[in-house]
Amino acid sequence: MNTPWYKRVAEGLTRTREELTGQLNVLVGRGPDVDEGFWEELEDALIGADMGVPAVTEITDRLRASAARERLTDSHAVLELLTDEIAEELALASGDVFELSPVTVLVVGVNGTGKTTTIAKLANELQVRGRSVLLGSADTYRAAADEQLQVWAGRVGVPIVSRERGADPAAVAFDAIRRAREEDFDVTLVDTAGRLHTSRELMGELAKISRIVKRESLAPVRTLLVMDATTGQNGITQARQFDQALGVDGIVLTKLDGTAKGGVCVAIARELGLPIVRVGVGEALDDLKPFDPGDFARALTGAA
């Protein structure tokens, strides 16, 4: 697997291109002229990538102005410009989450986005980089969630702290932090149960977990929101609510190995300034990659 992930993503795009009409390739294939039809298709394509109406309108308006100013008549040149613009929007300082050591990382998100798998991948990455890693299994709600993380812990070869199903997740987090403190782990990764951001009760529970982790951890605490690339405009609300409830430091965007482009993250970057820190491109341990704004923007716009 030596192809860079964005190439694989781009290949994914190629496959859908054959299935879907009206995508960005049509732009490339429709000839070099920048006319009204071009702008319309461009807008459709960006909407099709889940970037959302406000972001798309704003970006294409800006692009139209630049194209007119710079007398760009070639669609390839406009696509290049667009790619650069999107990359710029996404080039937020992604902070120090994986440079810090020691560090405690709280992993949160809605149900099924890939939190547990991401934790396994992160544990793997950090261990390969020489850090000692401890897992906290604080999803005490979903059936067999702990068993799932146990299996991963076994595969990666890292210790895990857990309690019985139904236990207080904050207590598991507490146990994990204490053990990390006592045994001097470099990195503590705390898994949490998936929850809809609309549930006041569950968001309150999460805020409590976060408070306890921040109170008990000697190491700095970072919170990562795991988001599924297939998510539509609801992703913005998700990010906002999680950020408001406990403060989010970065996003892990998963399932980019499919055909979804994760464009909602552009809107999230614009509105909330939350950086993408890693991308998930498969179900295996090494399917977690650093985020590169340029690559991502290229995969999104289909520019070569």
Ligand X SMILES: Nc1nc2c(ncn2[C@@H]2O[C@H](COP(=O)(O)OP(=O)(O)O)[C@@H](O)[C@H]2O)c(=O)[nH]1
**Residues lying near Mg ion in the complex (CB under 5 A):** 115-116, 139, 145
| Binding flag, residue 254, ligand X (CB under 6 A) | yes
CA dihedral in degrees (33, 36, 40, 43; nearest 10)? 70
Instruction: Return the DSSP state at 4.
Output: -
Residue among 13, 56, 85, 115 that touches ligand X (CB under 6 A): 115
C-beta of 65 vs 196, nearer to other proteins = 196
Chain-centroid distance, C-alpha 182: 32
Task: Give me the half-sphere count of Cα atoms (radius 13 Å) on the Cβ side of residue 186.
Answer: 15
The alpha-carbon radius of gyration of the chain (Å, integer) is: 21
C-beta of 16 vs 132, nearer to other proteins = 16
Q: Residue 108 forms beta bridges with which residues?
A: 225
Q: How far apart are CB 96 and other proteins at their closest, in Å?
A: 29
| Binding flag, residue 275, ligand X (CB under 6 A) | no
| Binding flag, residue 19, other proteins (CB under 8 A) | yes
DSSP string, 93-160: --TTTTT-SSEEEEEE-STTSSHHHHHHHHHHHHHHTT--EEEEEE--SSTTHHHHHHHHHHHHT--E
| Binding flag, residue 237, other proteins (CB under 8 A) | yes
Q: How far apart are CB 103 and other proteins at their closest, in Å?
A: 25
| CA gap 114, 46 in Å, rounded | 25
Residue among 29, 54, 112, 273 that touches ligand X (CB under 6 A): 112
Binding footprint of other proteins on the chain (CB under 8 A): 12, 15-16, 19-22, 44, 47-50, 52-53, 110-114, 141-145, 147-148, 150-152, 165, 196-198, 200, 228-235, 237-238, 255, 257-261, 263-264, 283
